[in-house]
C-alpha cells in the first residue's frame, strides 16, 4: 500500500476548543517539536475572527515566525483552515503552503458553522479555492459532517457525493471527508470513501475522524483498507468542533502512530517526541487529555512485521 501521510491538526482543531489561552511562545515550542517528529503536514491554525475563536488570534504571527527563516525542517508542509475571503487574503499574505477549506453536508451544521446553507457555502468555497490555486497555493477541500450530524442524525450519502462531485468538477481532487460528529462506523467509512474515489481517478482522499463514541481508530483502519493514505489526527487527542452538538476529540496522533509502528509502518516518525508534546500539553492544561499512549507509554514495535 502507498505510504501514509500524517496531517497533524492539534494546533488548530485541538486548541480551538480550549478556553485557556496558549501563549505564542508555548505554541512555537509545541510546533517545533511536532515539526521535528517526522509529521508530514502540520495545521498551524485558522484565519478566523479573534473574537469568535480567540485561540487562533495569533495564526498570522505563527506563520510569519516560520516564513523564510530556516526554522521549518525541509519536507514539512504548513497548512491552515480558511473560512472566508478575508481569511484567504491573510493566508496568502503570510505564506500558507496548504489551504484547507470545507463545506458541511448537514444544513443545520452548515448554518451554525458558517451562517450559510450548503448550496451557498459550496459556491463560496469553490470560488475561494479557485482563487487560492490561481495564487499558487495548494488546496484541500473537505466535506464536513460526512458521516452524520449531531443535530440531524444520519446524513444522506447522496448529499456528500453531490458536494464531492462539485469539487471534482472544479478540478479540486484533494478531498477530505470529516466525521465532525464522530458518528461513523467502519462499514460506512469504507463505502463513502470508495464512492468518492470513483468520481475521478485523480481523487486523493484524506480522512478527518473524531473519536466521540470511541470508533475513531477503527474508522481510520477502515479508511486505510480502501486506499486512503492521508490521515488528519491531533496530538493528545485534543479537539472537537465548537459548532456541533456533542464535541469529541480527534483521533490521537501518537495513538495512531503507535499502532502503525507496531505493524511496521511510519517507523521514521519519532513517537517519543509526540508523546513528549502530549505530556507537555497535559501539564500546561492541568488535566488528563484523551490520548492513551502518552499515559501508558508505548510498546516497542517490530520493524520486521509486514504492513497490513
Q: Which residues are catalytic?
A: 241
Contact by Cβ (8 Å): 45, 11: yes
244 close to 181: Cβ distance less than 8 angstroms: yes
C-alpha cell at position 113? 458553522
Q: Which residues of 102-113 are buried (b: 16+ CB within 10 A; e: fewer)?
A: bbbbbbbbbbbb
Choose among 126, 85, 78, 79: nearest CA to 102: 126
Grid coordinates standing for 176? Answer: 477530505
| CA pair distance 166, 161, nearest whole angstrom | 9
Closest CA to 8 of 121, 32, 127, 107: 32
Report the chain's C-alpha Rg in angstroms.
18
Specify whether the CB–CB gap between 76 and 35 falls below 8 A. yes
Rounded to 5 degrees, what angle do the CA atoms 144, 102, 191 make?
45
Amino acid at each position: 500500500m502507498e505510504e501514509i501521510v500524517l496531517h497533524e491538526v492539534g494546533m488548530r482543531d485541538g486548541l480551538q476548543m480550549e478556553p485557556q489561552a496558549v501563549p505564542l511562545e508555548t505554541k512555537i515550542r509545541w510546533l517545533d517539536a511536532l515539526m521535528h517528529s517526522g509529521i508530514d503536514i502540520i495545521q498551524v491554525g485558522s484565519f478566523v475572527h479573534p473574537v469568535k475563536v480567540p485561540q487562533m488570534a495569533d495564526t498570522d504571527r505563527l506563520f510569519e515566525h516560520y516564513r523564510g527563516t530556516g526554522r521549518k525542517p525541509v519536507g514539512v508542509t504548513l497548512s491552515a483552515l480558511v473560512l472566508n475571503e478575508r481569511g484567504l487574503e491573510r493566508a496568502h499574505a503570510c505564506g500558507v503552503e496548504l489551504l484547507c477549506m470545507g463545506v458541511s453536508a448537514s444544513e443545520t451544521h452548515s448554518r451554525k458553522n458558517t451562517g450559510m446553507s450548503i448550496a451557498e457555502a459550496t459556491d463560496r468555497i469553490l470560488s475561494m479555492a479557485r482563487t487560492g490555486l490561481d495564487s499558487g497555493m495548494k488546496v484541500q477541500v473537505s466535506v464536513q459532517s460526512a458521516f452524520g450530524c449531531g443535530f440531524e442524525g444520519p446524513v444522506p450519502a447522496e448529499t456528500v457525493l453531490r458536494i464531492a462531485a462539485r469539487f471534482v468538477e472544479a478540478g479540486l481532487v484533494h478531498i477530505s471527508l470529516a466525521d465532525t460528529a464522530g458518528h461513523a462506523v467502519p462499514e460506512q467509512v469504507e463505502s463513502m470513501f470508495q464512492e468518492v474515489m470513483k468520481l475521478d481517478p485523480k481523487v486523493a482522499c484524506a480522512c478527518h475522524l473524531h473519536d466521540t463514541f470511541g470508533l475513531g481508530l477503527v474508522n481510520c483502519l477502515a479508511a486505510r483498507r480502501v486506499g486512503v493514505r492521508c490521515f488528519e489526527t491531533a496530538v493528545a487527542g485534543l479537539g472537537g468542533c465548537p459548532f456541533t452538538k456533542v464535541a469529541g476529540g480527534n483521533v490521537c496522533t501518537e495513538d495512531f502512530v503507535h499502532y502503525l509502528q507496531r505493524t511496521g509502518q511510519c517507523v521514521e516518525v519519532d513517537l517519543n517526541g509526540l508523546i513528549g508534546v502530549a505530556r507537555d500539553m497535559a501539564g500546561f492544561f492541568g488535566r488528563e487529555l484523551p490520548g492513551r499512549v502518552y499515559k501508558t507509554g508505548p510498546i516497542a514495535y517490530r520493524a520486521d512485521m509486514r504492513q497490513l
